[in-house]
Amino acid sequence: MTGLKVAAIHARFGRHEVLRGVDLAVAPGETLVLFGPSGAGKTVLLRAIAGLEPGALGQVVIDGQDVSARGPEARNIGMAFQNFALYPHMSARDNIASPLVARGLQADEIAARVAEIAKLLRIGHVLSHPPRALSNGQKQRTALARALVGRPRVLLLDDPLRNVDAKLRYEMRLELPRLLRESQAATLYVTQDYREAMALGDRVAVLRAGRIEQCDASETVYDRPATAAVARLFGDPPVNLLACRPVADPAGLRAEAAGFRLVLDASAEAAGQECLLGLRPETLSLAAAGPDAARLEVIATTPLHERLVVLLRAGDGTEIVASLLGAAPPPGAQVAVAADAAAALLFDAASGARIPARRVMAGKAA
């Protein structure tokens, strides 16, 4: 098979196990985003694939060839680093040309290909500058050009937009999908920003504590997270997780927490168990007072982009974050807040696993 396939990658530093058996497959032209909290082992995994982590065990297969025993120079990969890692004593042009020089290409072909990629990334006018004379955005584009110019089979991008300002980051987020698609490389893209992950990833792999906890299309990860931990990583502000003990209901399960009363379409097996009710802030809205709406006190409003993030407190002290559209109620006000039951999530408190919808279970039974 073509593309990148890694199997059973293990890595440890001393007694600390960083990667505990990671399996991934990325098709040519596909972008798989590797997402996870800091310290999850994302960078270590990327370096293990690049051959820069001599202690890592496991198999790396590129285009059907097992490259696990090869050095980084013989794996045909391109990599962009978080800190750009440009060669400070070479011009931008020589930086970009480096992978072509390594292959011993003719000078005129090198010049042509460097000019082509530089035009694509709009850095043609700074090619003669040394890295220290480049702006952060230009450094980042030079690093990307160097990773792409050799037309590698596998592209490893280690949080390449981390160190550029918000405006440039957004610009690159618009440009990158086309660049990556056209490169036809199997791309593994590391980020800590879930929006970036959803925007750039054909699929998203969530790495937590050395394991892939979920690997799915980004919408699936957001709407049906495998675990409560994955749900907390996706979303800004993050999902509210409220302890509850749901009871059986003709339509599924009835859950009560912090004044919310919801009937969930969830497997009845969880009835009576300790659970976590996951309410995403944007699925909460101000409502008319009623038996199913929670009575909450407004603590503070912190606007986020076009939305208002409101910190609310229930009578029992539980804090709820809601992300509202429109006008904000003043601090100290008592408001009624309703949750969208269809978008609510339910997790097993002990294992953290999401309790699936009833329909899926019924389908399996039939």
Partner 1 sequence: MALHKLLRAAALTLVLLFFLFPIFWIVVMSFQTNEEILRLPPSLVFAPTLANYTALISGHLQTASGILDITFLHNLWNSILLSTCSVLLALVLGVPAAYAFARFRFRLGEDIAFTMLSFRFAPPLLVLLPLSLYFQDLGLNDTYIGLIWIYQLICLPLILWIVRGYFEDASPDIEYAYRIDGHSWWRAFTRIAIPLAGPGIAAAGLLSFIFAWNNFVFALILASADKQPVTVGALAFVTASGIQYGQIAAAIVLSILPTLALALYAQRWLVEGLSLGAVKG
Partner 2 sequence: MSLVLDHVSKVYGRGAIAVRAVQDMSFAMEAGEIVALLGSSGCGKTSTLRMVAGFESVTEGAITLAGRRIDTLEPASRGVAMAFEGYALYPPLTVAENIGFGLARRNGRDEVDRKVREIAELLEIGDILERRPSRLSGGQQQRASLARALAREADLYLLDEPMGQLEPQLRAILRGRVKALIKERHLTAVLVTHDQTEANAMADRIAVMEGGVLQQFGSPDALRDHPENLFVATFIGEPPMNVLTAERCGDGVALGGAAAVAFPGLALPPGRRVMLGIRPHRLRLGEGALAGTIVSNQWLGDQAHVVIAFADQLLVAVSHHKVAVRVEEKIAFGFAPEDAHFFDAATGAALRHGGEG
Q: Which residues contact 342 (CB under 8 A, 6 or more apart)?
A: 265
Residue pair 146/98 in contact by the 8 Å Cβ criterion: yes
3-state helix, strand, coil in the chain (%, to 5): 30, 35, 35
- Told to check if 85 binds partner 1 by CB under 8 A, we report yes
- Told to check if 73 binds partner 2 by CB under 8 A, we report no
Residue indicated by tokens 């659970």: 275
Tokens of 229: 């931990």
Residue pair 42/36 in contact by the 8 Å Cβ criterion: yes
Among 111, 299, 349, 361, binds partner 2 (CB under 8 A): 299
Residues 231-290 that bind partner 2 (CB under 8 A): 232-238, 280-282
Tokens of 147: 């990773």
Nearer to partner 2, 105 or 199 (CB): 199
Q: Choose the contact partner of 84 out of partner 1, partner 2, none; CB within 5 to 8 A by kind.
A: partner 1
Helix residue spans in the chain (DSSP H): 42-50, 92-102, 107-120, 136-149, 166-183, 194-200, 218-223, 228-233, 358-365
- Told to check if 192 binds partner 1 by CB under 8 A, we report no
Tokens of 317: 């002290």
Residues 182-221 that bind partner 2 (CB under 8 A): 192, 194-195, 198-199, 218-219
- Told to check if 73 binds partner 1 by CB under 8 A, we report yes
Among 306, 351, 363, 365, binds partner 2 (CB under 8 A): 306
Query: What are the two backbone dihedrals, phi and then psi, of residue 223, each rounded to the nearest 5 degrees?
Result: -80, -35
| Shortest distance (Å) from residue 303 CB to partner 2 | 5
Tokens of 84: 């750009």
Which listed range, 31-39, 87-95, 171-179, 216-224, lies at the site for partner 1 (CB under 8 A)? 87-95
Question: What is the radius of gyration, based on Cα positions, of the chain?
Answer: 24
Helix axes 136-149, 92-102, angle to 10 degrees: 20
| Shortest distance (Å) from residue 74 CB to partner 2 | 35
Tokens of 244: 């509850």
Q: Which residues contact 228 (CB under 8 A, 6 or more apart)?
A: 241, 276, 278, 347, 352, 354
- Told to check if 77 binds partner 1 by CB under 8 A, we report yes
Distance CA 208, CA 197 (A): 15
- Told to check if 134 binds partner 1 by CB under 8 A, we report yes
Among 21, 130, 238, 356, binds partner 1 (CB under 8 A): 130
- Told to check if 82 binds partner 2 by CB under 8 A, we report no
Q: Choose the contact partner of 111 out of partner 1, partner 2, none; CB within 5 to 8 A by kind.
A: none
Which residues in this chain contact partner 1 in the complex, by CB under 8 A? 47, 50, 52, 71-75, 77-79, 81-89, 98-99, 101-103, 130-134, 136, 139, 146, 150, 163
Which residues in this chain contact partner 2 in the complex, by CB under 8 A? 37, 165-167, 170, 174, 177-178, 192, 194-195, 198-199, 218-219, 222-223, 232-238, 280-282, 299-307, 309-311, 319, 321, 323, 325, 331
